[in-house]
Every structure is written in C-alpha cells, then in structure tokens.
Amino acid sequence: MEYTFIEYADMHLMYGLASCNALEAKRLYHERFPNRTLPNQKTFQRVDQRLRENGKFGKKVLTLV
C-alpha cells in the first residue's frame, strides 16, 4: 500500500505518542483519522525503522528536467 508523506508523518507521530507501541499507535491513528485506510501494526514499526536507518520515509524520486 502506498501512503502520502503526510500519512507517513502522522503514523510516525502516533507511534511516538504511543511510546513505540505499534498496537497503541494503530488505535490512536484510527481514533484521530477515522476516514483513512488503517495501516497494520508492522507498518508503524517499519516507518520508524526506515526513518532511523535512511532518514526518509521512502525511496528517493528523481525528477528529470
């Protein structure tokens, strides 16, 4: 599933608010954003891990001029 950068940022925020508890982060995310697709628990962990290891949410997109 592809998410927007805003959605990834919100996932990471909820993960932090939940003290890195993925199940609680999922609950908080659903509570705050009920109309969005609900990511699974592993997604919250992967977003955090990706930021820690790569300093970004996803792959770099090259723009051709």
Q: Where are the chain's structural domains?
A: 5-54
Q: Per-residue pLDDT for 34 more than 90?
A: yes
- What percent of the chain is helix, strand and coil (3-state, nearest 5)? 60, 0, 40
List, as own/partner pairs, every contact residues 15-21 make where C-beta atoms lie below 8 angstroms and the sequence separation is at least 24, other chains included: 15/44, 15/45, 15/47, 15/48, 20/48
Calculate mean pLDDT across residues 51-59: 77
Q: Per-residue pLDDT for 47 more than 60?
A: yes
According to the model, what pLDDT value does residue 55 have?
79
pTM of the model: 0.82
Which region among 22-26, 29-33, 37-41, 51-55 has the lowest average model confidence (pLDDT)?
A: 51-55
Calculate mean pLDDT across residues 61-65: 51
According to the model, what pLDDT value does residue 62 have?
46
